[in-house]
Structure 1
Amino acid sequence: MVSGRAWRVARFGAPETAIELQEITWPDPAPGQVLVKVRTAGAGYPDAMMTAGQFPLLGEPPFGLGEEAAGEVVAVPPGSRFAVGDQVTGITAFLEGWGGYAEYAYLGEVSTIRIPADMTDEQAGGFPIGFRTAYAGLVERAPVEAGQTLLILGAAGSSGATAIQLGKALGATVIAVAGSAEKLEFCARYGADHGINYRTDDLPARVVEITNGRGVDVIYDPVGGETAATAMNSLARNGRIALIGLAAGAPVALNSMDLMLRNQTAVGVLSIPQDDPQAEAAVWERLADLAARGAITTPVGRVYDFEDVPRMVANQTSPGAGKTVVRVATA
Structure 2
Amino acid sequence: MPQLTVERVQKFSGRAWRLVKFGDPKEAIELREMTWGAPSPGQVLIRVRTAGAGFPDVMMAAGQFPLLGDPPFGLGEEAAGEIVAVPPGSRFAVGEQVMGITEFLEGWGGYAEYAYVREGSAIRIPAAMTDEQAGGFPIGFRTAYAGLVERAPVEAGQTLLVLGAAGSSGSTALQLGKALGATVIAVAGSQEKLEFCTSHGADHVVNYRTDDLTARIAEITDGRGVDLIYDPVGGETAATALKSIARNGRIALIGLASGTPVPLDSMDMLLRNYTAVGVLATPGSPEAEATIWGRLAELAEQGAITTPVGKVYEFQDVPQMIAEQTAPGAGKSVVRVASK
Q: Same fold (TM over 0.5)?
A: yes
Deviations 1:221-262 (A, max 9, x none): 000000000000010000000000000000000011111111
Aligned amino acid, residue 84 of structure 2 = V
Deviations 1:286-320 (A, max 9, x none): 00000000000000000000000000000000000
Residue number among 258, 264, 284 corresponding to 1:254 in the alignment: 264
Deviations 1:38-74 (A, max 9, x none): 0000000000110111101000000000000000000
Tell me the percent identity.
Answer: 78
Partner of 2:89: 79
1:6 Cα deviation after fit: 0.1
Partner of 2:149: 139
Instruction: Extract unaligned runs of 5+ from structure 1.
Output: none
Distance in 2, matches of 1:48 and 1:129, equals 15
Residue number among 207, 210, 229 corresponding to 1:219 in the alignment: 229
1:194 Cα deviation after fit: 0.2
Aligned amino acid, residue 61 of structure 1 = P
Instruction: Extract unaligned runs of 5+ from structure 2.
Output: 1-10
Residue number among 258, 264, 278 corresponding to 2:274 in the alignment: 264
Distance in 1, matches of 2:191 and 2:244, equals 21
Distance in 2, matches of 1:304 and 1:230, equals 34
How many residues are matched?
A: 330
1:272 Cα deviation after fit: 1.2
Partner of 2:160: 150
Aligned amino acid, residue 213 of structure 1 = G
Q: Which runs of 4+ in 1 moved over 3 A?
A: none
Partner of 1:277: 286
Distance in 2, matches of 1:256 and 1:215, equals 19
Alignment of 1:61-80 (within 5 A): 61-80=71-90
Distance in 2, matches of 1:146 and 1:16, equals 45
Alignment of 1:109-258 (within 5 A): 109-258=119-268
Q: TM-score, normalised by structure 1?
A: 0.99
2:338 is equivalent to residue 329 of structure 1:
yes
Aligned amino acid, residue 93 of structure 2 = A
**SS of equivalent to 1:301:** strand
Distance in 2, matches of 1:267 and 1:283, equals 20
**SS of equivalent to 2:87:** coil
Distance in 2, matches of 1:267 and 1:213, equals 24
Partner of 1:23: 33
Distance in 1, matches of 2:192 and 2:70, equals 39
Aligned amino acid, residue 136 of structure 2 = G
**SS of equivalent to 1:201:** coil
1:168 Cα deviation after fit: 0.2
Alignment of 1:20-99 (within 5 A): 20-99=30-109
1:182 Cα deviation after fit: 1.1
Residue number among 118, 134, 141 corresponding to 1:108 in the alignment: 118
**SS of equivalent to 1:280:** helix
